[in-house]
Homo-oligomer: A and B are copies of this chain.
Amino acid sequence: MNDDPAPTKRAIMEATYDALRERGYGDLTIQAIADEFEKSKSLLYYHYDDKEALLADFLEYALDEFMAEIRVGEHEPVEQLERLIDLMLPETIDEDRYRVQIALLELRGQVPHTDVYRERYAEIDRTLTERVASIVERGVETGAIRDVDVELEAELLVSALVGMQTRRLSTYEEFPIERSRAALYEHVERRLVAPAA
């Protein structure tokens, strides 16, 4: 057994990703995740009793990975907003990623029955909105972004991003991804970017 928990956790999370991709949420069992896990199955069962606890950790892990991609202050605020759009709404989405994302949409529908999912989604929502607000706030401070209401702007942007993801997942190839991306880019460029002095 490995003493460092990080590689083990990463391997468990990757097995969970693979199992979600293969089976979706409805048919997922902890056994199916164990089957994708390359290390000892007893190690997985040692860490997790049930799939709810494992998936709650998976949501947290995915959030941490995502947040590491959009750290405040690493780039210019406007560039960061555009990067966020590209990360959440890439021009193309491959079959694997589609399958995992739709499995997570099914999981979202489980929140009334599973408190730990609801807590995680509340955390994801809060963390993402606060991050976007921090980016916009920094832009207002540096003068790159107009003097907008930071909180309201973050609500609007996060909602538009989540809405486009939800619409895209449920309409798939019919979703107007180019027009949606253009709508967000136009919003950032015309409504947020401060006019050149």
A→B interface (CB under 8 Å) = 24-26, 98-99, 102-103, 105-113, 118, 121-122, 125-126, 149, 151-153, 155-156, 158-167, 169-172, 174-176, 179-180, 182-184, 186-187, 191
The quantity of this chain's copies bound in the complex is 2
Inter-subunit contact A156/B174 (CB<8 Å): no
Chain A at the B interface: SS class: helix
Determine the distance from Cα of A169 to Cα of B107 in the docked complex, in whole angstroms: 12
- The answer to whether B102 touches A111 (Cβ under 8 A) is yes
CB contacts (< 8 Å) of A125 on chain B: these are 167, 170-171, 174-175
Cβ–Cβ contact A183 & B170, under 8 A: no
Q: Tell whether, in the assembled complex, residue A156 and residue B149 are in contact, meaning their CB atoms are under 8 Å apart.
A: no
Q: A106-B106, A159-B160, A191-B191 are in contact. List 20 more A-B contacts (CB 8 A).
A: A24-B112, A25-B109, A102-B109, A102-B112, A108-B169, A112-B172, A118-B171, A118-B172, A122-B170, A122-B171, A125-B175, A152-B179, A152-B186, A153-B183, A158-B167, A159-B183, A160-B160, A161-B163, A162-B163, A163-B165
